[in-house]
């Protein structure tokens, strides 16, 4: 059992150390069995940020409420705030803002869904790394990440079967990855660690970490869902979400809407700020 952080933070001291040292964390029981079953039954197709459909209404967040629930899970939101949020924004809240539930100080960048990693998948390419897909730092007691991924496995992945892998600690590397290590279909270097997970686990990792997909050598199915978050002012993909496309859903609240804002400075009165019911003008009878 991990010891509680004496500061009362979302991460224990051990978790902070492990994320700083290795570049990833595994959070058990981030999703319930019923949530996993709902994701399986409503998943429609693979999704990548570079081949999004022309009609945005076909995206995963429109498939079912469970996909919108993943935006802001109570089991993960405090952890994401600690890893990629902006503590300065929380410190600058006004008296009126403090009386309300704080909005996330980070944003959803894009969603990836892998459904083609089954039997005979020969392996992907190691990618990421410091200064390419993300940045990493720790200053003044806070983590700073350029892009943060949350991975949910919908089926069991065992160490010898394949699945997600990484080179622990590579998010701090100053030396390029050896060229012969890139293509996992041609061999897996001893430094590459296989990360096993069961449905319900969340693997959180910085995109500054060198990572990839191992060859999948069993008949069992593998579906993986990635929600990737960026700082509120930054974006990796140019295919931004628009909060206005989701306001009509009853399950969308201000926190979820704020996560779908395009990159911005989150200043007070910004045009894309989620509309709160209590902020609407009162209509006279």
Residue 192: CATH number of its domain: 2.60.120.620
Q: Are 51 and 238 in contact (CB under 8 A)?
A: no
174 occurs within a structural domain: yes
11 occurs within a structural domain: no
- Per-residue model confidence (pLDDT) at position 116: 64
274 occurs within a structural domain: yes
Q: Are 127 and 236 in contact (CB under 8 A)?
A: no
12 occurs within a structural domain: no
Q: Are 263 and 107 in contact (CB under 8 A)?
A: yes
Q: Using CA atoms, how far apart are residues 205 and 228, in angstroms rounded to an integer?
A: 10
67 occurs within a structural domain: yes
pLDDT values of the chain reduced to their tens digit, one per residue, 285 residues: 344 443 448 999 999 999 999 999 999 999 999 999 999 999 998 887 555 555 667 899 999 999 999 999 999 999 999 999 998 887 666 555 655 678 999 999 999 998 866 567 778 899 988 765 568 999 989 999 999 999 999 999 876 677 899 999 999 998 999 999 999 999 999 999 999 899 999 999 999 999 998 888 777 788 899 999 999 999 998 889 999 999 999 999 999 999 999 999 988 777 777 865 444 554 444
Please, is 75 exposed, middle or buried when counting C-beta atoms within 10 Å of its C-beta (0-12, 13-18, 19+)?
Answer: middle
Is the pTM higher than 0.95? Answer: no
| Token representation of residue 80 | 């994401």
118 occurs within a structural domain: yes
Which residue range is the domain that position 148 belongs to? Answer: 23-279
143 occurs within a structural domain: yes
Strand order in the sheet with 163-166: 193-194, 163-166, 211-214
How far is C-alpha 142 from the geometric centre of its chain's CA atoms?
18
Return the H-helix or E-strand segment holding 78.
helix 77-84
Say how many domains are in the chain: 1
7 occurs within a structural domain: no
């Amino acid at each position: 059992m991990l010891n509680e952080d004496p500061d009362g933070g979302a991460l224990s001291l051990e978790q902070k150390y492990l994320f700083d040292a290795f570049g990833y964390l595994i959070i058990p029981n981030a999703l319930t069995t019923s949530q996993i079953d709902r994701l399986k039954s409503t998943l429609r197709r693979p999704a990548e940020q570079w081949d999004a459909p022309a009609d945005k209404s076909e995206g995963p967040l429109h498939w079912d409420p469970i996909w919108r629930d993943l935006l802001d899970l109570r089991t993960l939101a405090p952890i994401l705030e600690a890893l990629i949020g902006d503590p300065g924004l929380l410190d600058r809240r006004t008296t009126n803002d403090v009386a309300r539930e704080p909005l996330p100080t980070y944003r959803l960048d894009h969603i990836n869904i892998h459904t083609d990693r089954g039997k005979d998948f020969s392996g992907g390419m190691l990618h990421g790394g410091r200064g390419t897909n993300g940045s990493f730092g720790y200053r003044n007691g806070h983590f700073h990440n350029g892009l943060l991924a949350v991975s949910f496995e919908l089926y069991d992945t065992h160490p010898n079967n394949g699945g997600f892998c990484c080179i622990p600690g590579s998010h701090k590397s100053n030396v390029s990855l050896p060229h012969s290590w890139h293509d996992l279909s041609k061999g897996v270097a001893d430094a590459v660690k296989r990360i096993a997970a069961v449905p319900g686990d969340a693997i959180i990792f910085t995109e500054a970490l060198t990572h990839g997909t191992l060859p999948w050598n069993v008949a069992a199915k593998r579906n993986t869902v990635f929600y990737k978050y960026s700082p509120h002012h930054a974006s990796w993909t140019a295919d931004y979400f628009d909060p206005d496309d989701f306001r009509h859903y009853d399950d969308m609240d201000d926190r979820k809407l704020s996560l779908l804002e395009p990159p911005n400075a989150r200043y007070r009165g910004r045009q894309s700020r989620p509309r709160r019911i209590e902020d609407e003008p009162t209509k006279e009878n």
